[in-house]
Amino acid sequence: MRQSVSPLLPAIRVWARRHQQGLAASLFLLPGLIMFTVYVIAPIIESIGLSFYSWDGLGAAKYIGLENYVNLFSDEAFYTALKNNIIWLFCYLLSVPAGLAIALLLNQTSKGIRFIKSVFFFPFVISQVVIGVIFTLFYDPSLGLFVKLLHFFDIKPIAVLSSAHWVTYGIIVAGLYPQIAYCMILYLTGLNNLRPDLIEAARLEGAHGWKMLFKIVLPQLRAATFIAVVVTVIGSLRSFDMISIMTQGGPYGSSATLAYYMYEVALSEYGFRMGYGAAVATVLFLIMLVFIVFILHRVYMQERETS
C-alpha cells in the first residue's frame, strides 16, 4: 500500500544512498550554518548597512550615504582610537615571547612544578574585570603600589591613568597580565609534544642554548606560535573591557580604541549615534578582515599540505 502511494520514494532513497557521505556532511553542517548565518553573517551585513544611515535609536533612520565615513575621517577621536589600536597590536604581541620564556622556564620536572605552573596560569583564570580593578588600584596616584615603587627608586611619580601619554601603555600592561599566561599555556602543551629523538640528535651534533631554541625547538612549536599570534592579534583589536573598567576611554578620550569608541558613540550614555557607531565598527571589521583572510589562508594551505 505504502509504496504505491509514492513511487518517488524509492528514487529518493537510491539518490540518498548514492550521495550518502555528502548528504550526511551537509545535514550535520546545516544547524551550524543556520546559526552562523543568523547570528554572524546577518548582523555584519546589517551593521554595514546601518553605517549609511543617521539613526538615534528612536525615530526613523535617515539615509545619508557616505556622510558617516566622511565625518569619521576628519574626527580626531577616531584617529586617537586608531593610533591606540596600533599601539595595542604591537605591545600586545609581547605576550607571545614572554609566554614562551615562562613556558621554557616552567618546562621541567621537579617537585611541585604542577603547582607553580597553575600559579602562573592563574591570571588567565581570574576575570578581566577583577584584573582591571586591581591594576586601577595599583596605579592609584596617591595610594597605589606603583607610585610607592617609583618613589623607592627615586623616580618622579606618574599618574599613569590620568596621563594622556602613558594611559594606553598602562592599560596594555594590565591586558598583558592574563594574555601572557594564555600564551604560556599554549607553549607548555606544545613543549610536551616535542620529539625527544630530534632534541637528542641535535645535542649529539653539539647544538645548545640559542641555537637549540631557534633551530630545533621553535620550528616544532610552529602550531603553538601560530595560535598564540592569532589569538593575541585578535585580542588586541577588540580590546574593550580593560579600557571600560580602568579609564572609560579617558582622560579626555585619549585611551579609547576603535572598539571602545564604537561603544561610546553608539551605546553609551552620551551616544546613540547608531549609524556613526556602525561606521566605526565597519572600519574595525575591515582591519580585522585583513588578519582573518591571512589566517584562513594559512589554515587552508596547511590543510592542503597535510592531506
* Residue ranges that bind other proteins, judged by CB under 8 A: 56-59, 71, 76, 139-142, 159, 161-162, 164, 247-248, 250-253, 264, 267, 269-273
CB closer to other proteins out of 74 and 110: 74
Closest distance to other proteins from the beta carbon of 77 (Å):
8
Structure-block grid coordinates of residue 6: 509514492
CB closer to other proteins out of 90 and 252: 252
Q: Strands, DSSP E only, in the chain?
A: 53-54, 62-63
CB closer to other proteins out of 164 and 293: 164
Cα 40 from Cα 267, distance rounded (Å): 20
Structure-block grid coordinates of residue 136: 586601577
Cα 154 from Cα 255, distance rounded (Å): 27
Closest distance to other proteins from the beta carbon of 59 (Å):
4
CB closer to other proteins out of 166 and 291: 166
Q: Are 227 and 187 in contact (CB under 8 A)?
A: no
Cα 153 from Cα 109, distance rounded (Å): 37
Phi, psi of 79 (to 5 degrees): -70, -35
Closest distance to other proteins from the beta carbon of 278 (Å):
15
CB closer to other proteins out of 274 and 284: 274
Q: Closest by alpha carbon to 51, among 281, 287, 259?
A: 281
Q: Closest by alpha carbon to 183, among 101, 238, 241, 126?
A: 101
Closest distance to other proteins from the beta carbon of 161 (Å):
5
